[in-house]
A and B are shown apart, each in its own frame.
Chain A
Amino acid sequence: MRERAPEPGSAPKPARRPHRPPPVPLKGAPEDGAREAHVRWPLELQRLAGNRTVALVVDQIAQNALQRVAVKETPPDETLYNQPGTGGTAKAKNYGGDVSYDMTRAGDTGVTVTIKIQFLNQTRNGVDPNAPGAPPGTPALGALIGSPTEIPANDPDDRRKWCQDIVKEQVKPWNGKLTLVGEEVNVFSKNTTKRLPVTFNSVAVFGLSDPHDQVIIVHPTSTKADPKTGNPIDAGNYYLNKGNYSNDDKVIAAHEYGHLLGIDDEYSQSNEMLNALLHQAAPKDAPSAMAALDKKTVERMVLSSLKKPLLDRLKTTLPAVTDAFRAKRAAVKTKMAAAARSGVVDTAVRSELEKNLAAASDPKLGPSIPRVVAFETTKNFSNLTVAGEGVEAGFDATKMAAAIVSKYEAALNTAQGAVVNVAGVGDTKINVQASVPAMTATGGAQQANAAGAASTTMGSAGGAGTFFGFPVIFPASGLIGQLSALPATWGTAGSAVESGVTPAAFATKMADLVKSATAAASVAPPPGAPAPPPKLQKAKQLYAKALAVVNAMSKETCRQLASDLINTVVGPVLTTSVQDLETTIQTEVNKVMGTPPGGIAALGPPNPQMAALVSHMKAQLDADKAAAAGGGHTPLGTGKAAPDQNVTYSVQSLMGSSKNTSIRADQFNPMVAQFNSKLRTLWEKKFSAEVK
């Protein structure tokens, strides 16, 4: 985004070098007018001055000349869909900003792009003009007031050093990636390929009259960033004291650097805008990725619209699942009791118990500890009780149901948030707006279809019932059917119970728990927590403590093993179920969007409710596309329509969501155009950007 506060003060602009005179086309010249012009000038020079002179000039320019130009432009404003629109849609907003940098060519050695950032000191208005008692004429809260001043060289906060760090960091993501590649035309020999690596540079300047490309006010530590006091962090105001903000100044600075080069944001894009971006980024002869992205968009719209209906349906049908699991408690308790009996005497467990008691006791009780531990883990250890209580806690129906719902929701979120690799621009996130799930909420146009699709997806545990008055056995179906069937296998050899509830598993877990208990009793308590109790002094206290630790930790071990048992079998089923759902949606999307009318019948009967949802979402997307058609990449900046959208897209690159620091060659098109216009020699063909 490039919405910046007006620059306080302005500095003299560096003089521009005059542009090259326009070349005069030759009569009967080949199609590439620019190229033949380059050829013609050396030819004329050769005729006039001779080969030797021309060769000398070429060498001088190529090897020694240092050319510098100042680039300052005002490109069309960019559009971002990052505002709230009607009914949960995304609304467009216009953002502007200037392009400003110096570009220096060092012959054939390379190109350096330099941006000068003027860091100054200035205060902001902290009085809300709407507050009672605010003087008339009070400027907006946060407006810069007075005139900027220089940050003193002996600033108590050493802000100048902080600024130097910022400029050093902001160019790091840009450097080492871009090379300008071109060709020098040779009249009597093969053309010379030229590769000019581009170095990006950022320079901090502190003088009020210093030439600069951007101004940033740096507020001292005495001023805390806080919107309430008119001190929000924004692109033109950085704070040493960030208060409640955790904005990464370096990330902001690196992003802003891209804008000063003329590169637009690539997040919160409409479908139309992303389409324009794809045309810019993809090779001219490459097939458009838009059709595939549209299909994926509809899939994500359907998935998003189904999330709440699915979770609601799961919650109402889960008792069948928890009942099925709880029916197996007795078998699990038996297995758990055996594991506890053997596991509690494991060397690791006893060792941790001894450490725990030693930490809690006066040293004089030390010699008694192994005997106490041996007693509490054998004769005084009630494995049936701890196994029974632990398994009951682990199989608590309410908590089991909540855990399954949480894990299913997490699986749906993962599927919904997965980035899509779009040919040309790379990983892209599809942002389905709140308006889409609203279509399947209560009163929404697709509520019934979504509820039906959710019901089909969830299915049932099956079992006895009636059909037109006749007793029948309904088969298990859907996710509920799969989950309910899981504990049925627990009696068989190699089942999850057999492999998961073992003495070794018990010992490992209990040893870890006791170790944590020891740490809990010995680390410095967090602020506000009570101080640890005094050391045990008597043998009776030691036995009581040992009994409490063994009982609590062995019961907790049983509970965690029970929870693990359920999680181990449920997790994969939930993940697979969401994948199956995605496949189901994809199948319907392919039928609706990817199959000619004549071929649909061959694809088999549709899933009616899913098909209706897909058709509805496709219609929404089509409507959004149609309304925005012709808007291009910067609709508001070029006076085109930019209607609210149900879906936006965010490329994950440096100028997108910054999830990664990738940069594409096409993003440098404006900069390369400047180079070709101002720094290319007469006998060079146009350069292009190469990014690694």
Chain B
Amino acid sequence: MEVARIRWVSPAPTSVDEELVVYDDRTALLVVRTSRDGSPAIGTWRANVGPADLAALEGQRREVDLRHPTNDDVVVAADRVAAEARENPLATATFHAGAVPGGGVALLAVGGGTGPAEFELDVDSVVVHLENDGTEVAWHQMDRLGTGFVSPEPEGLGGVGRPAEIGPGAYGVIALNGPPLEDASAVAVEVAGYLRDALPEDPSYERFRVRTAPVPYAS
């Protein structure tokens, strides 16, 4: 049974959205929609909760505004459990940018944990950021996504129009269509969508947003 729920949020542009749900069996699930550390990973992670942290967290329902973080016992305990959870993925997807040989940019998603993270991309949300020497020089809204992820084999993995089915260790790619990308030495991809978390009771279906790390790009 759920005994505590702590949610870390911030407004745009950081738009952090992490939620820790603690259960009376001394386990906790961490749902990450937009991470605090900027990592392009979404999904659900799992942690065990020590007796002291369980005592501190029991009965708490909080929304922590990260612009004004507090360091009381509850938030410190929640941070501790969340940090432990990040080591143990349950159903996650990590996004990467990919430079396609011969030109073009691709979005990659890698499955993690023990089952696929259930997410669906917002077809109009893809933005490619262009960088030179570590400085962003431009960004482009890419064309509406028409299809989902495809594995190298190839196999359709969904993610557009239907939930993605990217199992642990597998990865899929979407080749992005859009304007020509010039004068950039690196590219990063920003994308949003909806994530259905892996909470056992009343899983929610809420928006996520990620931005990949930049990868070298030869324009």
Q: Closest CB of chain A to B56's CB: distance in Å?
A: 11
- Give the nearest-CB partner of A510 in chain B: B147
The 8 closest A-B pairs by CB, nearest first: A556-B156, A517-B154, A523-B98, A520-B173, A232-B71, A519-B175, A516-B150, A1-B68
Query: In the complex, which of the residues A142, A308, A658 has the most CB atoms of chain B within 10 Å of its own CB atom?
Result: A658
Q: Flag whether A526 is at the interface (Cβ < 8 A).
A: yes
User: Does A524 lie within 8 Å of B156, measured CB to CB?
Assistant: no
Contacts of A434 in B (CB 8 A): 61
A245 within 8 A of B: yes
Q: Interface stretch among B42-50, B73-81, B130-138, B178-186? A: B73-81
Binary B-proximity of A498-517 (CB < 8 A = 1, otherwise 0) = 00000000001100111111
**Chain A residue contacts of B23, Cβ below 8 A:** none
Q: Say whether B24 faces chain A, with CB atoms less than 8 Å apart.
A: no
| Minimum distance in angstroms from B46 CB to a CB of chain A | 17
Whether the pair B79, A228 counts as a contact (CB closer than 8 A) is yes
Chain A residue numbers with a CB within 8 Å of B3 are none
Closest residue of chain A to B194, judged by CB?
A410
* Least Cβ–Cβ distance between B107 and chain A, in angstroms: 9
Q: Is the CB of B68 within 8 A of A515?
A: no
Tell whether A172 is near chain B: CB-to-CB under 8 Å: no
B90 close to chain A: CB less than 8 A: no
Q: Give the interface of B toward A (CB within 8 A).
A: 10-14, 16, 35-38, 59-63, 65-71, 75-76, 79-80, 83, 86, 94, 96, 98-102, 104, 106, 108, 110, 120, 146-156, 160-163, 169, 171-175, 177, 194, 196, 202, 204-206, 215
- A405, A557, A560, A659 pick with most chain B CB within 10 angstroms: A560
User: When the two chains form their complex, are residues A244 and B11 in contact, meaning their CB atoms are under 8 A apart?
Assistant: no
Sample 29 A-B pairs with CB under 8 A, ordered by A number: A84-B62, A232-B79, A244-B36, A245-B36, A245-B37, A246-B36, A247-B14, A248-B13, A251-B11, A267-B65, A403-B163, A406-B196, A513-B147, A513-B154, A517-B150, A517-B151, A518-B100, A519-B174, A520-B150, A521-B152, A523-B101, A526-B96, A526-B108, A532-B152, A552-B156, A560-B162, A563-B161, A563-B162, A658-B11
Chain A residues lying within 8 Å of B152, measured Cβ to Cβ, are 517, 520-521, 525, 532
Contact: A529 with B147, CB < 8 Å? no
CB distance from A516 to the nearest CB of B (A): 4
Given contacts A246-B16, A659-B11, A659-B12, A523 and B154 within 8 Å (CB-CB):
no
A36 interfacial contact with B, CB 8 Å: no
Answer yes or no: A456 CB below 8 A from chain B CBs. no
The interface residues of chain B lying within 8 Å CB-to-CB of A169 are none
A88 interfacial contact with B, CB 8 Å: yes
Query: How far, in Å, is B44 (CB) from chain A's closest CB?
Result: 16
A376 to chain B minimum Cβ distance, whole angstroms, is 14
Interface magnitude class on chain A:
35 or more
Contacts of B37 in A (CB 8 A): 242-246
Main secondary structure of the interface of A (DSSP, over half): helix
**A243 proximity list for chain B (CB < 8 A):** 37
Contact status B177-A227, CB under 8 Å: no
- CB atoms of B171 and A525 under 8 A apart: yes
Cβ < 8 Å to B, chain A residues 383-429: 394, 399, 402-403, 405-406, 409-410, 413
Please pick, from A83, A84, A512, the residue contacting B147 in the complex, using a CB distance under 8 A: A512
CB distance from A268 to the nearest CB of B (A): 8
The residues of B that contact A255 with a CB separation of less than 8 Å are: 67-68
Smallest Cβ distance from A403 to chain B, in angstroms? 6
Chain B residue nearest in CB terms to A255: B67
Is there contact, CB below 8 Å, between A82 and B63?
yes
Q: Who on chain B is nearest to A265 by CB?
A: B68
Q: Which of A549-575 contact B (CB under 8 A)?
A: 549, 552-553, 555-557, 559-560, 563-564, 567
The docked-state distance in angstroms from the alpha carbon of A574 to that of B26 is 38
**Seed contacts A228-B80, A516-B149, A560-B147; 11 additional CB < 8 Å A-B pairs:** A88-B61, A227-B80, A255-B67, A405-B205, A410-B194, A512-B175, A516-B147, A517-B151, A517-B173, A520-B154, A523-B100
A520-B148 Cα distance, complex, nearest whole Å: 12
Contact status B66-A247, CB under 8 Å? yes
In this complex, what residue of A is CB-closest to B61? A84
Whether B71 contacts A227 by the Cβ 8 Å rule is yes
Which residue of chain B has the shortest Cβ distance to A508 in the bound complex?
Answer: B146
- In the assembled complex, the Cα of A556 lies from the Cα of B154 at a distance in Å of 10
Query: Do B11 and A523 touch (CB < 8 A)?
Result: no
**B150, A524: Cβ atoms under 8 Å?**
no
In the complex formed, the residue of A with least CB distance to B177 is A512
List of B residues within 8 angstroms of A83 by Cβ = 62
Q: Quick one: which of B68, B79, B204 contacts A252, CB cutoff 8 A? A: B68
* A32-70 interface bits toward B, Cβ cutoff 8 Å, 1 = contact, 0 = none: 000000000000000000000000000000000000000
Is the beta-carbon distance between A528 and B106 smaller than 8 angstroms?
A: no
Chain B residues with CB under 8 A of A528: 110, 169
Partner of A529, one of B102, B146, B171: B171
CA distance A413 to B17 in the complex (A): 15
Chain B contacts for A227, CB-based, 8 A = 71, 75-76, 79-80
Which residues of B sit under 8 angstroms from A555, Cβ to Cβ? 156
CB proximity of A483 to chain B, nearest CB, Å:
17
Taking the nearest CB of chain A, how far is it from the CB of B137, in angstroms? Answer: 19
Q: Look across to chain A and name the residue whose beta carbon is closest to the beta carbon of B173.
A: A520
CA distance A658 to B13 in the complex (A): 10
- Which single residue of chain A is at the shortest CB-CB distance from B146? A512
Distance, CA A413 to CA B101, complexed state (A): 41
Q: Which of B96, B156, B161 is the one whose CB lies under 8 Å from A513?
A: B156
- Is the beta-carbon distance between B67 and A526 smaller than 8 angstroms? no
